[in-house]
Structure 1
Amino acid sequence: MLTCALGALACAGAANAQEAADSTSLEEIIVTAERRSVNLQDTPLSVAVVGGQDLRAMQAGGDDILALAGRVPGLYAETTTGRIFPRFYIRGLGNIDFYLGASQPVSIIQDEVVLEHVVLKSNPVFDVQQVEVLRGPQGSLFGRNTTAGIIKFDTIKPTQTLQGRAQASYGSYGTTTFDGGIGGPIVADKLAFRVSALYQHRDDWVDNTFAGTSADGTKTPQSDAMGGFDERDIRLQILATPTENLSVLASAHLRQYEGTSTLFHRAGLKKGSNSTQYAERDKVAFDEAVNNPQAYDTAGTSLKIDYDFGGVKLTSISAYETTDGYSRGDTDGGAAANYPVGGVPNGFGQSQGVVKDLDQVTQEIRLASDTDGPLKWQVGGYYFDSRDITNFYQRAFFVRTNPNNWVSLSNVNTSWAVFGQVSYDVTDKLTVTGGLRQTDDTKKTRLLKSADTAAGVVTYTGRRYVKLSDSQPSWDLSALYKVSDDVSVYARVARGFRGPTIQGRSAVFNSDFTTANSETILSWEAGFKSQLLDNTLRLNATAFTYKVEDIQLNGNDSNGNGVLFNADQAEAYGMEAEAQWKPIANLTLTAGLSLLHSEIKDKRVYAQVCALNGVVVCTVQNPTIQIGSNVYAQIDGQPLPNAPEYNIDFTARYDVPLANGGVLFAATDWNQQGYTNYVLYKTKEFYSDGNFEGGVKLGYSAPGGAYEVALFGRNITNEKNLKGVIENYMASVFNEPRIVGISVSAKLR
């Protein structure tokens, strides 16, 4: 249909266009999933790759790295704390905890530096060369807290050739994006630089319709009160190559962000239904929290040194990251006055989390073979140190009834590891790879200030200091067999672990810390990688199964406070498949599919269900028990939360060659998400099934891609999809609205 629609243009422009003989051949994709550059088709694990240009097209409407959700098979992402707190899930495994100190089983690696804290994981991705999503445990080379996998971002590096690129867009709600970089030689063959920058802006576009009295001074009603953001980022890289054996890459970056935390729509769901029709995306009625502001400043530096001894390369990566900021929100999602019980306002909620002076230091040293022989190896060591002060403020502090209604926590996480990996070509067709890592991980949380009464009386009786430590091995073993030059099969088994976790935020409610021991995973996968039809079709697929022991989950205690706990097991199986096809010249199609079945396995574990003032407000479909006035649902057999049963993505691009060497093009991308449960138990309300979104882009690309002008649309059908919930308030969280606009890009080379 797309080719027919553009047929007339093709006839007009193609007459004088000279097509290359291999115009339908697919380009080779190089990945560094094993810390060395290898063809994607020769990598014995499940890796998805998104090119920098493709990522920028997704983000033209102001999206952040959450735009990857649904565009990579097996990857899901969401947030209920705004742009500063993305949560990632791979093969269904993630963490729904919104605590600022929460760990995640998906690690973010940017330019070989791990970003561990949830705020650091939100660091914007700009001037990127390539994104790699490694599915399944990656503990041998990348360490603990990678039980689900990693998302690896590699930025464009300095070169000795003057190069630059920039993309700017403007669209609905004043959404403005600039993503660019320029670099080149400082001293010929010795010193080079690259400067990269990102700017994103969106106007406030959500009205606050509440017309009553606010206890904390929030000004209402107000049009265009919230929903906007300003993102400003810059990065400088200097590459020194004083000799042909030595290279030194120094990098520094700064981030300034101000925006709106997640907007909860109270009563956006009605009992017995998960329809999104009961709330308007661009209207809320908040009586508190001064329009849900959030702001963070982040800075970081890194130094990578490579020295080639001749057949053996030594690499050192030193990095430092720091951040501080806050996020405040009306957590009940609506004005209590609008929901009275017996004539009395019902359900007040407001909170603020503050990260003060987070400092993360990492050091990695590795020694690796650098030859083309059958044996390849690498060994190394790693050290990690993260320290922060995190404060939590509750409603009484903001409405001035209790200035002591906040807590302060000191968090320290240290870890060290030694690791090694060996890969050997047994024959010219069979390669076997094995890796082993031993990790020690220690977490310490100290309560610096308790939430006291207005008169200063201490009422907290829980622990004020908790220390958890664990030492665990992680390993993987894989084999890849080349059936032919175009088809390979592989199998992999891997073990990983997520370190112990401490949940300290509950102290703000005068509840004791909760903790969880390490979770471990054993994962099996097998698949094939192929390049077919004279290299016009790339088709890769993987089937997997895994078991997580002592999985870390989050629920509520008998007082409704968030708690962290271990369940016995979680099991899952599924598959991922990806295809890229150029059936004819100028037409490129891609498709991805993931299927997943997951289950929590623990008959002893129950989760507190949706309740407000002792009344269950949703429709619970699991067996329940009642303890006092609280109702709990059995979660044995339930799917993991935020684990879509399937995800389908599709893209298409058709180029119409013109006589001057330029092209007109049309591109589109779509994804659909299967049944996804948002809580630990089953209900008729807290899930989505069939969510989909699509984007389009129509434009002109000059000869050689020197510049491009295009019209674009993100969420082009303006779908209003449920992305999260607040259970007791039946509150809904929605996806981003439709954004349409124009984009311009250019290259200097």
Structure 2
Amino acid sequence: MQLKHALNAGLSALALLVPAGVAAQTAQPAEPALEEIIVTAQRRSENLQEVPVSVAAISGDTFRDYLAGGGDVLALSGRVPGLYAETSTGRIFPRFYIRGLGNNDFYLGASQPVSIIIDDVVMENVVLKSSPLFDTQQVEVMRGPQGTLFGRNTTAGIIKFDSIAPSHETQGRGTVTYGTFGTVTADAGVGGSLIDGVLAIRASAMVQHRGDWVDNTADGTKLGGYDDKAARVQFLLTPGEDTDVLLNVHGRDLDATSTLFRGYALTKGSHKLNGNYDKDKVAYNDGDANDQSYEGWGSSLKVDHDFGNVVLTSITAYETTNGYSRGDTDGTAGNFAESQGNIDDLDQWTQELRLASDTTGPLNWQVGGFYFDSDEQLTFRPYNFFETGGASGFVTLGNENRSWALFGQAGYRITDDLKLTGGLRWTEDKKEMNVLRALQAGTFTSVEDGRRITQASYTGIRHVELKDDELSWDASAFYDLTDEVSVFGRIARGFRGPTIQGRTVSFNGAPTTATSETILSYEAGLKSSLLDDRLRLNGAVYTYTVNDIQLTAFDGNGTARLLNADKGVAYGLEVDAEAFLTPDFIITAGLTYTDTEIKDDQVTTSICSGGVCTVKDPLVNGRAKIDGNPFPNAPEYILSLTARYNMPLADGSNLFLFTDWNMTGRTNFVLYESEEFYSKGDFEGGLKIGYENPDRTYEVALFGRNITNEKNVKGVIENYLAAVVNDPMTVGISFTARLP
């Protein structure tokens, strides 16, 4: 009781910090109140405020606002506390970082410590992680290791996307936008009952188009456009009151410009863009050689059967894709650094069986098993070995990944105020790589410049196999201090399986490997619903240590090589807030601060060649010592803010304004510290002004993305001082319709 009195006093002090518009309403009736948010962070539906995990949730409508200018999943970057994302391979290769932990490797077979789950299916390959997101119900970002219920390769966290599911009620929605650069987005879904009470359907589709808008001054071509099309159909069969069967079939077809590298857009000694950057122009040897094309499809079958006190769930899924991406990585017409990576074929099978309690008592539990099977055939062409004559510059690799897991979790409510939860997962992970085709001896002619290059046959390792088994676990306590405020503590151990990097073979180098990394994470958090549910304030402090952390270093020719450093450590805090300032004015705000540090006094990495950059780290034999450096792509802080203001009209219709902003602190792009390869204080904003009719069946709005036209560097190619820059300002109009 003393603790509760102390907390009430602390909350009274906190109320003084809340915007005056909120505090002034404390004496008003409870309406309006923030809506309850239901999440599935523990593989069951629960109130966000009752889950002992740091979770952020974004509604499908808000997510669609972020995509209005033709964006993809990268639009989430910086808009959720702790989440950062970037790419150097266009729309097919997003890389994610949570609480500073991620992987900047651009190898098509790379693993990431942030797992992507779409409609209950893990998307392991980086191209699968780029699957278009449309007709989305909700996005959940789970921060910290999630290895007990979701498996290996979740040491940083999970981003989970749930599509709108079929219903026996007739439902439909659609959004169409048109904007700058001829950008068109259409995202729609409609469904209802086929056989009343027995069979329902929902069909969804997305089209994103942008015209080529960047002039290639070297050959007169134009770049920058894309056509990304996707569709999904879901059938919900209910053969009896105890059984649900959900079939999901989906596909994608993409043709697009790959990432535009802006050669020598940075100047030695500065991290700012110089006069060589022109958003409307590039100068590439061959503009047609900076494109990408992918197609794929997948299907999942989810069966739930209720036995009374327990529910059995089976999820069987298959994903496949193939395509290529090619890029002019030096970003100029004067050099010839080009490369291409293909997925000739990818087949991923997953099977999960889970048995979970379905009771309202103090005990809840679940046990299950998981099987993962992936086969990939990858082909690479390095920049100066494009196939000519009788010799081949192709390198083809075969990757196999098999994984088994058994898991269980139990939660018990000790008292009305205290609940304990614990989980355990055993996983065996096996990876193999075979060199199916290597560089052959001969004389190669660079297609672009006619140079003759003599190449010896590859004589290195042709088979690599790694295997490991690990235990992941977590334990948490959740305590209700008052009806409005709860606190939790969580300890979690996870691991990322061993990794093989084969792209080095395309430069006649042996494949590189990294053993499993393990993480031990500690966090303590607060979840609260204050001021008559007008203010939701959640937060956490955390620290973690990654032993044998997997890092990717880049050699002078840009070849990525894997290595293990002794450890990486981090600590930080995050805050999520949502508040009604008035009945018609709602804001959300987020803050993350993260301090990351590599701990290994022996590890070194290659640096930019030819002295084109200013290295700040100590050098040993021309290599930088990175002990004490931050993790790459780990912003020191992330700030985010959204605000929506409604202006109800006399006839019941509504005018509204929605805006969103985010800012990121210092972010190092590479393993070593330099004067050039980082960003600091980058920000972007979005705006939407619209009208809703009285029954809310349609809205029309003007929108803008990056409305201040910020030029933010998101990545670099070191040897050419080349920059990857965010999209310029886009503006347009959107129309949304909903079935009544």
**Shorter-chain TM-score category?**
over 0.9
Structure 1 partner of 2:87 = 79
Q: What is the correspondence of 1:232-631 to structure 2 with a 5 Å cutoff? A: 232-278=229-275, 279-288=277-286, 290-336=288-334, 347-398=335-386, 400=388, 403-454=391-442, 459-557=457-555, 561-611=559-609, 615-626=610-621, 631=622
Which residue pairs with 1:723 in the alignment?
714
Residue 224 (structure 2) aligned to one of 219, 222, 227: 227
Query: Is 1:636–2:633 an aligned residue pair?
Result: no
User: How much has 1:458 moved relative to structure 2?
Assistant: 5.8
Q: Is the 8 A contact 1:396 1:403 kept in 2?
A: no
2:250 corresponds to which letter in structure 1? H
* 1:47/1:132 contact within 8 Å kept: yes
Amino acid paired to 1:276: L
Distance 1:402 1:499 in 2: 40
- What is the match of residue 101 of structure 2? 93
What is residue 673 of structure 1 aligned with on the other side?
Answer: 664
Q: Aligned to 1:41, which of 23, 43, 49?
A: 49
- The number of equivalent residue pairs is 702
Distance 1:586 1:265 in 2: 44
* 1:149 to 2:157 alignment: yes
Once residues 395 and 598 of structure 1 are traced to their aligned partners in structure 2, the CA distance between those partners, rounded to angstroms, is 34
Q: Deviations over 1:427-457 (max 9, x none)?
A: 0100000000000000000000111133698
Distance 2:727 2:109 in 1: 26
Q: Is the 8 A contact 2:30 2:533 kept in 1?
A: no
SS at match of 2:442: coil
Question: Which string of whole-angstrom CA distances, capped at 9 and with x for unpartnered residues, describes residues 298-342 of structure 1?
Answer: 100000000000010000000000000000111111112xxxxxx
Once the two structures are superposed, residues 586-638 of structure 1 have per-residue CA deviations (whole angstroms, 9 ceiling, x without a partner) of 10011000000000000101111111xxx211011111122xxxx21110000
- Taking the aligned partners of 1:669 and 1:178, their CA distance within structure 2 comes to 21
Structure 1: where are the runs of 5+ without partners? Answer: 1-19, 211-219, 337-346
What pairs with 1:18-57 in structure 2 (closer than 5 Å)? 22-57=30-65
Which whole-Å CA distance do the structure 2 matches of 1:512 and 1:384 have between them?
A: 27
In the aligned structure 2, how far is the partner of 1:242 from the partner of 1:399?
A: 57
Q: SS at the partner of 1:583?
A: strand
- For the 8 Å contact 1:289–1:350, the answer to whether it is kept is no
How far is 1:398 from its partner? 3.6
Instruction: Please tell me whether the aligned partners of residues 442 and 456 of structure 2 are also in contact (alpha carbons under 8 angstroms).
Output: no
Question: Aligned partners of 2:535, 2:313: CA distance in 1, in Å?
Answer: 37
Tell me the CA shift for residue 283 of structure 1: 1.2
Contact 1:401–1:454 (CA under 8 A) maintained in structure 2: no
Q: Contact 1:521–1:546 (CA<8 Å) still a contact in 2?
A: yes
Give the Å deviation of 1:556. Answer: 3.3
* Partner AA of 1:260 in structure 2: T
**Secondary structure of the corresponding residue to residue 149 of structure 2:** helix
Superposition deviation, residue 170 in structure 1 = 0.2
Matched with 2:12 is none
Residue 167 (structure 1) shift: 0.5
Match of 1:132 among 122, 134, 140: 140
C-alpha distance in structure 1 between counterparts of 2:644 and 2:631, whole Å: 35
Q: Is the 8 A contact 2:598 2:630 kept in 1?
A: yes
* Other-structure match for 2:696: 705
1:744 aligns with 2:732: no
Asked whether the 8 Å contact 1:405–1:453 carries over to 2, the reply is: no
2:19 equivalent in structure 1? none
Unpaired runs of at least 5, structure 2: 1-27, 445-454
Deviation, 1:704, is 3.1
The answer (yes or no) to whether the contact 2:350–2:371 under 8 Å persists in 1 is yes
Maintained 8 Å contact 2:524/2:542: yes
Q: How much does 1:60 deviate?
A: 0.6
Quick check: 1:182 aligned with 2:185?
Answer: no
Q: Does residue 105 of the first structure (1) align with residue 94 of the second (2)?
A: no
**1:13 equivalent in structure 2:** none
CA displacement, residues 623-654 of structure 1 (integer Å, 9 cap, x when unaligned): 1122xxxx211100000000000010011111
Structure 2 residue matching 1:290: 3-state secondary structure: helix
The equivalent of 2:128 in structure 1 is 120
Deviates more, 1:311-320 or 1:652-661: 652-661
Q: Residue 235 of structure 1 aligns to which amino acid in structure 2?
A: R
2:325 and 2:287 map into 1 onto residues whose CA distance is: 10
Is contact 1:700-1:708 (8 Å) kept? yes
Q: Distance in 1 between matches of 2:318 and 2:324?
A: 21
What SS class does the counterpart of residue 61 from structure 2 fall into? helix
**1:21: how far off?**
6.0
Secondary structure class of the residue paired with 1:462: coil
Distance 2:396 2:345 in 1: 13
Instruction: Please state how far the C-alpha of 1:209 moved relative to its aligned partner.
Output: 1.2
SS of the equivalent of 1:262 reads coil
Alpha-carbon offset, residue 276 of structure 1: 1.4
CA distance in 2 between partners of 1:646 and 1:458 (Å): 48
1:544 counterpart letter in structure 2:
Y
Amino acid at match of 1:474: S
For residues 12-69 of structure 1, the C-alpha deviation after alignment (integer angstroms, 9 at most, x for no partner) is: xxxxxxxx96543111000000000000000001000010000000001000000000
Q: Say whether the 8 Å CA contact 1:226–1:291 is kept in structure 2.
A: no
Q: Say if 2:391 and 2:443, in contact at 8 Å, map to a contact too.
A: no
Tell which deviates more after alignment, 278-287 or 252-261: 278-287
CA deviation map 1:59-111 (0-9, x unaligned): 01000000000100000000000000000000000000000000000000011
- In the alignment, residue 314 of structure 1 is paired with which amino acid? L
* Secondary structure of the corresponding residue to residue 167 of structure 2: coil
Kept after mapping to 2: 8 A contact 1:677/1:687: yes
Cα deviation, 1:242-288, whole Å, max 9, x if unaligned, reads 10001100010010001011111110100001111331122111113
TM-score normalized by the length of structure 2: 0.93
Alignment of 1:676-695 (within 5 A): 676-695=667-686
Q: Percent identity, please.
A: 58
Output the CA distance in 1 between the equivalents of 2:551 and 2:497. Answer: 13
**Residues 709 and 309 of structure 1, relative CA distance in 2, 3 Å threshold:** same
Distance 1:748 1:473, change over 3 A: same
Aligned residue type for 1:268:
A
Deviations 1:387-434 (A, max 9, x none): 011000123444737741110000000101000000000001000000
CA distance in 2, matches of 1:559, 1:644: 27
Cα pair 1:288 1:350 within 8 Å, conserved: no
Quickly say closer, same or farther: Cα 1:96–1:256, change in 2 above 3 A. Answer: same
